[in-house]
Amino acid sequence: MKRPIGVTILAVLAGIAGVLALVKTLQFLGLFQFHLYLGPFNFDFRTFNFWAALMWGLMAWVYFWLTNMLWNQDPSAWLFLAVITVFNLVMDFAIMIGQGEWADVNLNMVLNAIILIYVMLPGVKKSFGMQKS
């Protein structure tokens, strides 16, 4: 099966998003130092938060699963990637509306915005059979 370049780029971007989610998981497990303000909660250096680590670990797993689906050109991967990307952008905006800082969400927000813009391009939609020529 010949894979279009757009699908390959989306798979790579989803893999990068998975790596970023994995780094967040390790941060919340206390393995990396970071400082994060989320509303009234203040996560300081080497903070252990099992719930946050579990949620980011689940998101990393979803992105790696999506990378595999995109690589194999599964038609449902296009819609699932769009939904997950919008969900992540909504969560990043919620953090920004709260007492979060740009430094908390900058990489994740920019990457998800790029993925969402790219996934909506007509050539990418066409390669997944979502748009007729």
Q: Does 81 map to a domain?
A: yes
pLDDT tens for 17-37 read 999 889 888 888 877 765 555
d(CA 99, CA 40): 8
Please state the domain count of the chain. Answer: 1
pLDDT tens for 82-129 read 999 999 898 888 877 876 677 777 888 999 999 999 999 888 888 887
Q: Does 1 map to a domain?
A: no
Q: Does 133 map to a domain?
A: no
Q: What is the pLDDT of residue 69?
A: 93
CB neighbours of 124 closer than 8 A, spacing ≥ 6?
4, 6, 7, 10, 78, 118
Count the neighbouring beta carbons within 10 Å of the beta carbon of residue 123: 12
Q: Does residue 62 surpass a pLDDT of 70? A: yes
Q: Does 5 map to a domain?
A: no
Range of the domain at 42: 14-127
Q: Does 8 map to a domain?
A: no
Q: Does 63 map to a domain?
A: yes
Q: What is the model's pTM?
A: 0.81
